[in-house]
Chains A and B, each alone.
Chain A
Amino acid sequence: MKRFLRQCVSVLSVLVLSASLLPMEDAYAGGGRGGGGGASRSGGFSRSGGSRGGGASPRVNTNVSTQNRGNFKNYSQPSYNRPQGQQNRQSNVQNRQGERQTTQQNRQGERQTTQQNRQGERQTAQQNRQGERTERTDTRQGERTDRQDNRQEGFTDRQNNRQDFIDDNYGDRWYGGGWYGGGYYVPPGWGWVGLTTGLVIGSAIANPPPYYDTVYVGSTSYIYSDGIYMQPSGSEYTVVAPPVGAVVNYLPDGCSSSQVNDVVIYNCSGIYYQPFFQNGSTVYQVVQL
């Protein structure tokens, strides 16, 4: 015990000595102010940008964005980009809880049945073992082949998805859908919605697009994705004409810009957008000419 205490005392004295020396070490390690890592690209503050203005990425459905935050001062920034997202999540949580309860009940039921079956099985198991062994070997071989096939299919699917994603963003440029007089082209990432001939105003889809922003004009909300505007209608989403006054974070593909009387206007196949700064980023508002 005495020896342990002596060792502790010596260790503590070493620590105290080290503590008194540490600030000196830091002073040297820091190299004065401005040391440490970080970017030293004084002249490199540039980045080749696409046509995206800013805000949320069009590829994901952002519920909360902190892009325009990062201050100790409590500046007034919107906390929710898409409030309905939270409602969806709440219902998901409720569903999950329900699922959990059902699963637990099922498990209990399964356990009882399994125990009864086991007792019966034991009696006949010994007799059947010999025959089962042969069958199992055959089955295993079959299962192996199936699994390999499945893996191969999964791998191919994933590759296809990746390929789509890369192509869509090739060269840091966003390729979205577009308006072409009689209707919209279906944007590249939208294949699964089941429409192959284009999205005409008034047409309905069963599911929302894979990625979208919610935009408001007054108190009316619209779903925006790749130049296409939709509104929920019953259990479906109906394609509507681009609402004048809507403000979006990015333009669809195929827009051309012109400048008249110092005002920049984008013509996106007959739909006109004017660029603005809003919340520190470039946005585009649907305007009527």
Chain B
Amino acid sequence: MFRNQVFILLLMTCASPMLGVSGVLAQTSTSSATQAETGLKTTEQILNQVCDFFKAQKSFTYEMDITYEDVLDSGSKVQYSAYQKTWVEKPNRMRSDYVGDQRVTRFYYDGQNFSLFAPDLDYYATKAAPESLDAVLDKIDQKFGITIPMSNLVASDPCADMKTDVRSMIFVGSNMVNRIPMYQILMEGQERDYQIWVTRDPQPLLKKAIITYKTLPGSPQYTAVFSNWNFNPNTPAETFTFSPPVGAKKIEFLPTQVLPASVTGGASQNNVAEPTEPLPANGTNNLPQQW
């Protein structure tokens, strides 16, 4: 019994510096000879592997369990949950079903149109769409304020924007996601920090991501745990095309509202989208004449 305790103590004593060294090795550039001997990769190499892998995939599906935080006036935080399934066929098809505490929506993009459907209310809206996923993701955000969580993964260059923002990268260690140890990497950006957990397989796979909005009051976090990755799906074409169910009602998109300058401190806030159409001030713009 005592021997076991001593062994564990020795293991901890000796292993700690070694783990530290391996962390450093993983962080810093080492000679290719050393890497070949140890099998270690740099943090940047792991990240590039993940990014290049997603970039190369043409068709895949995945699911996400999401938690995100809201900060109250009191400073307290509340956490909400959602889950989302996404189907992707590059370069011009995507669908995303989102079921959350605060909204339930389905997004369809078939290369010609995009649609947003609220199944609980039976409302939908459809608009003509650009010809590529990159363009449609930009359009729905800039014009309609629609953000599909983690949709950067389906872009032609999934990590481009993040890499531009990241100032430093830290290998945190081998830490668990759903009880399985993964490589955990922290990337520090200008206004946001990113944490990702990837499998320790020869081809690392993304299993978890957290975005910390560190410049917002209370530094809220957005967490996504990925599951059921399928890189060889056989997705029927109709999955991406929206067909309104019987009884569904068509509604319109309202441009994202711009907060008045007096609220934002005299200048347009960085994170507030500029509408491409004026916001109807009298609310009558979309009504038929007899109203």
Q: Tell me the A residues contacting B by CB distance below 8 Å.
A: 4, 7-8, 11-12, 14-15, 19-20, 22-23, 26-27, 29-30, 33-34, 36-40, 42, 45-57, 60-80, 82-86, 88-89, 216-219, 221, 244-247, 259-265, 274-283, 285-289
Residues of B within 8 A of A89 (CB): 73, 75, 217
* B218 beta carbon closer than 8 Å to chain A: yes
A49 touches B121 (CB 8 A): yes
CA distance A158 to B7 in the complex (A): 53
CA distance A161 to B279 in the complex (A): 40
B249 touches A264 (CB 8 A): yes
Q: A69-B211, A73-B161 are in contact. Are A23 and B102 (CB under 8 A)?
A: no
A288 touches B73 (CB 8 A): no
Interface size class of B (residues with CB under 8 A): 35 or more
Residues of A within 8 A of B252 (CB): 276-277
| Pairs of residues from A and B, 10 with the lowest C-beta to C-beta distance, nearest first | A38-B227, A49-B120, A70-B149, A54-B103, A279-B145, A276-B254, A219-B260, A85-B73, A287-B283, A261-B288
**Cβ-closest chain A residue relative to B141:** A75
Q: A34-B228, A47-B104 are in contact. Are A63 and B282 (CB under 8 A)?
A: no
A72 touches B159 (CB 8 A): yes
CA distance A204 to B141 in the complex (A): 40
**Cβ-closest chain B residue relative to A30:** B199
Q: A45-B99, A79-B216 are in contact. Are A65 and B73 (CB under 8 A)?
A: no
Q: Tell me the B residues contacting A by CB distance below 8 Å.
A: 7, 10-11, 13-15, 18, 22, 39, 63-66, 68-75, 78, 80, 83, 85, 97, 99-106, 116, 118-121, 123, 125, 137, 141-142, 144-152, 155, 158-159, 161-162, 165, 177-178, 180-181, 191-192, 194, 199-202, 205, 207, 209, 211, 213, 216-218, 220-222, 224-231, 249-257, 259-264, 269-274, 279-284, 286-288, 290-291
Residues of A within 8 A of B177 (CB): 36
21 A–B contact pairs at CB < 8 A?
Answer: A8-B13, A15-B15, A34-B230, A36-B207, A38-B64, A39-B63, A39-B65, A42-B85, A70-B150, A72-B150, A72-B159, A72-B194, A76-B273, A89-B73, A275-B251, A277-B123, A277-B254, A278-B255, A280-B116, A280-B145, A288-B283
